[in-house]
Structure 1
Amino acid sequence: MAARRVAPVEADSARHRIRRRVHRARIALRRSGVDYFRGDGSDWIALAGLLLTVPVIAGLTLMDSVWCAPATLVLPIVVGGLLLRPASLLALYGAAAGALIIESVRLGPYDEGPGRVTPGVVLVVAACGLFGLLLAQFRTRVGVPWRRGGTMLFDLRERIRVQSKLPRLPRGWHREMALRPAGGQSFSGDFVVAARTQGGRTLEVVLTDVSGKGMDAASRALLLSGAFGGLLGSLPPDGFLPAANAYLLRQDWDEGFATSVHLVLDLDSGDYELLSAGHPPGLQLCAATGQWEEISGQGPLLGVYDGAEFDPVKGSLAPGDVLMLFTDGLVETAERDISEGIDRLSGEADRYVAGGFHGAAWHLIEAVAKDVKDDRALLLICREVQG
């Protein structure tokens, strides 16, 4: 009796599971249909247009295969690779394959004369189709239409440029920032964030070099620049690098370390503090002696271990003094030691002492590290002599 009572319950449960799965499948199909024919991501208009283009091209080829060769079918395939989703591309490829078969049958064997469907034509069309499919799959994975991808990257580059812009300084001060990514690219693993704090009396600048270079480090640099920009001015100067180190550790990146230097400059007195996290030393030109001196704080790399401490070095900029901060790509290469690079940089900078350092940052990068395959950044802060 017990067995006979359990069986109907199990059967009802199985039927319920089947009905639930069917219901979910119907919802998924309905959603997929709605998503296909509605919304900004829809490509049905482009697919319909390209599907109509295929028989038009095939008809022109059958009419005159000399002026409209069979290989002309690569045109809708290339356009489809830029516009369509992978599922839609398969439909387009099926139409193109059917058109090639019809052309091959109607035009005759390829060895009877020009304008026939040759194995080379088939290979070219197939190669273009494969490239378009790979491109569409990548675009689908990224989730950005090809028409907006370039616009988005341009917008990101402009946002980085605006965020890296140094604030205007009061009279008697001059600042410059030059940044050159590796390989002539638009994105860099070096970035700077700056702000005037304490009612505008203090200038805080953070120059950071993210591990890696070029596009490999650009995504991490973009994320860190936003985070560091939010931290700057929100914390006491001695709390910025510990907070940045903790933030970097939370990201848990495989290649997640960075070097950074934090300058806190009093614009009234010229006194400053320099805190460093594994960053190359800065250079200060003392106008009284005409000599360059290395200025470096003590601290480990960001993102290596928790609880790191960063000891500042204090100094002062008198009228005529210049402070240079830079990343290691400017002074260090596989063939050149960092001390040699610093000597070369200071030697090139001596040429601008007499005439002033206006416009010197970019020229110094060109003179010292023009062909270096690494990101390079240089920050100049000058206290001018009042006439």
Structure 2
Amino acid sequence: MPVEEIVRSVWSPGEEVFYSASGEGRPPERGTFILRRPGVARYRLLLVTLTAAALAVGPLSATVGTGWAPPILLAPILLLGGLRLRLPAMGLLTTASFISVVITLTAAVQPAQLIALIVVAGLALRLSHMRGGVGIYGLRGDQALIELKQRLQRMCQMPTLPRGWGRKAVIRRAPGSLFGGDFLVSCQEGDNLQVALVDVSGKGGDAASRAMMLAGTFGGLLGATPAPDFLPACNAYLMREDGREGLVTAVHLDLNLSTGRYVITCAGHPPPAKFGRGSGAWELSTAQGIALGVVSDARWDSVQGTLRKGDALMLFTDGMWGSRADVDAGIDRLLGQAGILVQQGYDKAAALIRELSHGDDDSAMVLIWRT
């Protein structure tokens, strides 16, 4: 890289701009270019201040001793740089810090402090690199993630049902993941309730970014298309925009809250289970069909039924199957535990998902019952 570009990347950082262009029948051309960003004066002031502070630590330690000015004073400078500076500037700050460390070697420096500084410098460089990937510096990135998580949680909330109906939705992320690949979208217009439980292929963070994008898309389609056209519309979208990125399974419920009549459609998803008050048992639905995003002309077989007083429906994702060694045994165990849930009350659904969900996978369950 030419020296000019190196200096520009450190002293005059820009914003990365994405572009796409095509014409004359040529395939789309995509790329990025750098645009000068506002606020560069404040950025330069911060860079100069931190670099000067880092360079001052070494001579200060050599002059007054490491007891009054230990090299570990460089740690907060490096961490602040990792939060606020871009990677090229962070490289300059790290270099200045190690120059200070070399100067302090003339004094009595504890090896533990040097090791700690090396670790902190590595963490700061990693932090700067990660935040540079998303273009958010400082603490705004954490706030953006918090707001995004809250929006997704609100999106997964089901509407309030009228008297005589109850519902419970529980979504569990894979351990250690802020977001997951399972999500729920729903809408209610008058006496008609539509619910879609979706599972994006992958686990935890691997599927999270795709699931976040699809949650908004599917939520918009759910309220804008007639119920029979919802899954075809989702499939068409995936085939057009997202077809090569993996499978998406979904179960769609169209329920009339006045009559209890419902229509269930499955796209590669575990079939829902229905509890009949008369039989006192859970039974799996026969709804089935190919997953979304596989073929453009997919068709799905729907199942119709009626929820009477005391009946219930349970929608769930494959994370509720438990052990993957024997799927049938896992589903049987789920239905058995769901039978106990009927006796204890549907509000215990959270305990059920904790007990049955697969350890390293996302899992979700939706219960709708009539009282």
Assess if the C-alpha contact under 8 Å between 1:276 and 1:296 holds in 2. Answer: no
Pairing partner for 1:351 from 315, 323, 340: 340
Query: Does structure 1 residue 383 correspond to structure 2 residue 370?
Result: yes
Instruction: Specify the alignment match of 1:263 in structure 2.
Output: 253
**Unmatched 5+ stretches in structure 1:** 1-24, 108-114
Bigger CA drift: 60-69 or 162-171? 60-69
Q: Which residue of 2 aligns with 1:342?
A: 331
SS in 2 for 1:308: coil
Alpha-carbon distance in 1 for matches of 2:95, 2:283 = 71
Within-5 A mapping of 1:236-385: 236-252=226-242, 254-335=244-325, 337-357=326-346, 359-369=347-357, 372-384=359-371
Q: Which moved more, 1:92-101 or 1:207-216?
A: 92-101
How many angstroms apart in 1 are the aligned matches of 2:282 and 2:102?
Answer: 76
Shift of 1:218: 0.8
Consecutive unaligned residues of structure 2, counting only runs of 5 or more, are 15-34
State percent identity of aligned pairs: 38
Specify whether residues 46 and 268 from structure 1 end up closer, same or farther in structure 2 by C-alpha distance, changes over 3 A only.
Answer: same
Relative to 1, partners in 2 of residues 1:46 and 1:32: Cα closer, same or farther, differing over 3 Å?
closer
8 Å contact 1:103–1:117 — kept in the other structure?
no
CA distance in 1, matches of 2:98, 2:279: 79
Paired residues of 1:178 and 1:378 also in contact (CA < 8 A) = yes
Whether the aligned pair in 2 keeps the contact of 1:264 and 1:273 (CA below 8 Å) is yes
Distance in 2, matches of 1:366 and 1:352, equals: 13
Choose between structure 1 and 2: higher helix proportion: 1
Aligned equivalents of 2:196, 2:298: Cα separation in 1: 18
Alpha-carbon shift at residue 266 of structure 1 (Å) = 0.7
* Correspondence for 1:54: 54
Q: Which of 183, 187, 212 is residue 179 of structure 2 equivalent to?
A: 187
Confirm or deny: 8 A CA contact 1:210 1:257 kept in the other structure: yes
Residue 223 (structure 1) aligned with residue 210 (structure 2): no
Judging changes above 3 Å, is the alpha-carbon distance between structure 1 residues 176 and 215 closer, same or farther for their aligned structure 2 residues? Answer: same
What amino acid is aligned across from residue 227 of structure 2 in structure 1?
Answer: P
Counterpart code for 1:47: L
What does residue 25 of structure 2 align with?
none
Alpha-carbon distance, 1:279 to partner? 0.8
Structure 1 residues 116 and 344: CA distance shift in structure 2, 3 A: closer
| Secondary structure, aligned partner of 2:269 | coil
C-alpha displacement of 1:41:
9.4
Going from structure 1 to structure 2, the CA distance change for 1:203 and 1:317 (only over 3 Å counts) comes to same
Distance 2:359 2:230 in 1: 31
Alignment of 1:170-209 (within 5 A): 170-197=162-189, 200-209=190-199
Task: Judging by fraction of residues, say which structure has more strand.
Answer: 2
**Counterpart residue type for residue 93 of structure 1:** T
CA contact (8 A) 2:56 2:100 kept: no
* Alpha-carbon distance in 2 for matches of 1:251, 1:269: 38
Q: Cα offset for 1:225?
A: 0.8
Kept in 2, the 8 Å contact 1:36–1:44? The answer is: no
From the superposition, tell whether residues 37 and 123 of structure 1 become closer, same or farther in structure 2 (CA, over 3 Å).
Answer: farther
Corresponding residue of 1:110: none
- The CA deviation at 1:269 is 0.5
1:43 positional shift? 2.4
> Aligned partners of 2:187, 2:242: CA distance in 1, in Å?
28
* Change in CA separation of 1:354 and 1:143 when aligned onto 2, cut-off 3 Å: same
Q: Does 1:164 align with 2:153?
A: no
> Whole-Å Cα distance in 1 between the matches of residues 182 and 304 of structure 2?
24
RMSD: 2.7
